[in-house]
Amino acid sequence: MSFMKTAISIDEGLYRKAEKLSSKLNVSRSQLFAQALEYLLEKSETLEIIQKLNAVYGPNDMEQGVAIKGSKKKMKAIVEKW
Can you give the residue ranges of every domain in the chain?
43-82
> What is the Cα–Cα distance from 73 to 61, expressed in whole angstroms?
16
Q: How many CA atoms are closer than 13 Å to the CA of 80, on its beta-carbon side?
A: 6
Residues 6+ apart with CB under 8 A from 32: 18, 21, 22, 25
For the stretch 10-63, pLDDT in tens is 999 999 999 999 999 999 999 999 999 999 888 888 878 877 877 777 655 555
Query: Which pTM does this prediction carry?
Result: 0.58
What's the DSSP call for residue 27?
A: -
